[in-house]
Amino acid sequence: MDKKSVLQVALGHVMWGILPLYWAMLAHMDPMFNLACRICWAVAVTVGVLAATKKLPPYKAVFVDKQKMKYLIPAAVFLLLDWGVFIYAVQSGHVLDTSLGYYMGPFVVFAIDMLVFKEKHGKHTLIAMLLVLIGVAFFVVYNVIQYGRFPMLSILLSCLFAIYAMLKKFAQVDSVVGIAAETTMMLPLALVFLIVFRGADVAALTFGDHLLLIGAGVVTAVPMMLYSVGVIRLPFAMLGFMQYISPTLSLLCGLLLGETVTPDKLVALLFIWAGIGLYMYAAIKEENRAGGGGRIRNNSEQA
């Protein structure tokens, strides 16, 4: 197992997990405005890192590489949608819904893993995912029956990032170059929005607002760069279960921000946590069987 990649991905998820607290400080601004500013500063940070590390030539080259752009363009679209839904949810008081959405994400990753990457899984992993599926099914059905609504925010977030991860795995692009290219493709839309629709809002920003928005670029780019390293080197199923780090922290953030865990969410979480525990048990057991030093290969290595 590539322990360095595991640590990088885990750190990225920790940073994502505490992001609701950061966006809560910007709740007095329009979510779309925050998203546009986030894109602009993310470009500045990532391209700045590339310039400092003398990686601008690969960054420029990726835009003329049709094979890589075939995956990076849709990846940028799904990432943009994921960011937009997340910011809207946090600023409208639905942090726990985002947490549940990202808890569901690994089920989508697991489905993609079996259908697209053809990775093999043991019985413990299959049972773990069945537990997660039961929890998710209960959550969806309860919401439809009790509240007459489909939990759209949670379902959307569960799918968007999983599909983004799949596209990134196919693209096989350097981590910093990849996120810089994706945010650069978003930049024209962000600039048009800020100039045409939100020019007055930009002029009205305080010094503290500017600092927070600049920081948004940092807290956006750094975990994305860390994640992009691991998504290439680690098995796709493992990436899916590591996604549970950020929603657990987001759940705690939601409680700190005054949200409450409703019965449907609690039941779903109990099943999901049971699945996580079983998966971790199986992973540790497999690692011990391999002597603790073996690295689980991903599909690109097996090919």
User: Residues 82-113: pLDDT tens digits?
Assistant: 999 999 988 888 888 888 888 777 778 777 77
pTM of the model: 0.77
Banded pLDDT at 297 (limits 50, 70, 90):
very low
Residue in this structure with the two tokens 């049971």, named with its chain if needed: 274
Residue appearing with tokens 């929005």 = 193
pLDDT value, residue 291: 55
Higher-scoring residue by pLDDT: 294, 88:
88
End-to-end CA distance of the chain: 18
CA distance 257 to 252: 9
Does the pLDDT of residue 302 top 50, yes or no?
A: no
Can you tell me which residue has the tokens 């939100």? 198
Rounded to 10 deg, the angle between the 95-112 and 123-142 helix axes is 140
Residue reference for tokens 């987001």 = 250
pLDDT for 48 equals 92
Low-confidence winner among 65-79, 105-119, 203-217, 239-253 (lowest mean pLDDT): 105-119
Q: Is 153 or 244 the better-scoring residue by pLDDT?
A: 153
Residue 204 has pLDDT above 50, yes or no: yes
For 187-196, write each residue's pLDDT tens digit: 999 999 888 8
Residues 172-196, mean pLDDT to the nearest whole number: 89
How confident is the model at residue 301, as a pLDDT? 31
What value does the mean pLDDT of the chain take?
82
